[in-house]
Amino acid sequence: MQLNSRNRTLDLARPVVMGILNVTPDSFSDGGAYVETARALDHALGMVEQGAAIVDVGGESTRPGADPVDEREEMARVLPLIEALRAHSDVFISIDTIKPRVMREACAAGADMINDVMALRAPGALEAACDTQAAVCLMHMQGQPRTMQKAPVYDDVVADVRSFLGARVAACRDAGIDDSRICLDPGFGFGKTLEHNLALMRNLHAFVGDGYPVLVGVSRKSMFVKLHGHDDMSSRIHASVTSAFWAATQGAGIIRSHDVAHTVEALTLAAALADN
């Protein structure tokens, strides 16, 4: 299994880690820590050193309740970092954005992948993904970040999310985006209760069976607070790393994580235990 962009191929024979780099003042987990480009670059290169195969750059927080950011501000945050990172590393760079203009400018600056929590539904997003020839991650979200956690409801969350992603894949094909550039993501915490998230985790093999690399993003998310009945960062990190191990055993291809070194270790153990 691999993921192609216009001039890079990501080998997914074994699951890889996508290191999260939020250059946003309000990101829930590390908001504001890496806003200056030099510090952000340092952190990105550190994650590469720890074994990240992808660095996911985000300029707009999509945590529940987050305020939207205009595209000029978002580009001001992400483009200097993408340019600097491209100049210092050949790591796969993804841009975590829903805005077509930001997609285009980020790819022109050196990004290889568009990570879109709206699955290219914004007007112009499919065209941007097609024209840039970037790899794309299509993620499921029910509703909008500001309100998605109010009362999410599904007939059958696994079937509903798979059906949505299937429809988005069809839209990508119609737009001329090759299957080899697509990965899929159930969107943990994006319009899901704890029970919905657990059902999706339990059924990751079904998503894997749909034939596209599966990206899993549970890192430091509040679903673990509800599961464990208490909230501290180390507890969220332990649960995230354990989930990474589980996802790897179920065939996930990409694990999105704030804690790269620990997640790389979990995937190394999963590979060692697999009969491959």
Ligand X SMILES: Nc1nc2[nH]c(SCC(=O)O)nc2c(=O)[nH]1
Specify the residue, 63 or 162, whose C-beta has the smaller distance to ligand X.
Answer: 63
* Contact flags string 46-65 toward ligand X, x per CB under 6 A: ----------------xx--
190-249: contacts with ligand X (CB under 6 A): 215, 217, 219, 221
- Identify the three-state secondary structure at position 13: coil
Q: Which stretch binds ligand X (CB under 6 A): 170-178, 183-191, 228-236, 261-269?
A: 183-191
Q: Using the rule CB under 6 A, which residue among 256, 257, 264, 267 binds ligand X?
A: 256
Q: Residue 63 catalytic? A: no
Q: Which stretch binds ligand X (CB under 6 A): 43-51, 148-156, 166-174, 184-192?
A: 184-192
Q: Six-digit token pair at 218?
A: 């549970």
Q: How many residues bind ligand X (CB under 6 A)?
A: 16
In DSSP terms, 4 is beta-bridged to 9
Specify the residue, 87 or 157, whose C-beta has the smaller distance to ligand X.
Answer: 157
Q: Six-digit token pair at 135?
A: 């790899």
Nearest to 22 by CA among 40, 2, 48, 47: 40
Q: Six-digit token pair at 141?
A: 């979200």
98-127: contacts with ligand X (CB under 6 A): 115, 117
Which of 63, 192, 221, 236 is flagged as catalytic?
A: 221
Q: Residue 256 catalytic? A: yes
| Helix locations, the chain, DSSP H | 37-49, 71-88, 100-108, 125-132, 157-174, 194-202, 204-209, 223-228, 233-249, 260-273
Give residue for tokens 């657990």: 198
Specify the residue, 79 or 213, whose C-beta has the smaller distance to ligand X.
Answer: 213
Q: Please state the φ and ψ torsions of residue 3, each to the nearest 5 degrees.
A: -130, 125
Q: d(Cα 240, Cα 224) in Å, to the nearest integer?
A: 8
Binding region for ligand X (CB under 6 A): 20, 62-63, 96, 115, 117, 137, 139, 185, 187-188, 215, 217, 219, 221, 256
Catalytic machinery residues: 221, 256
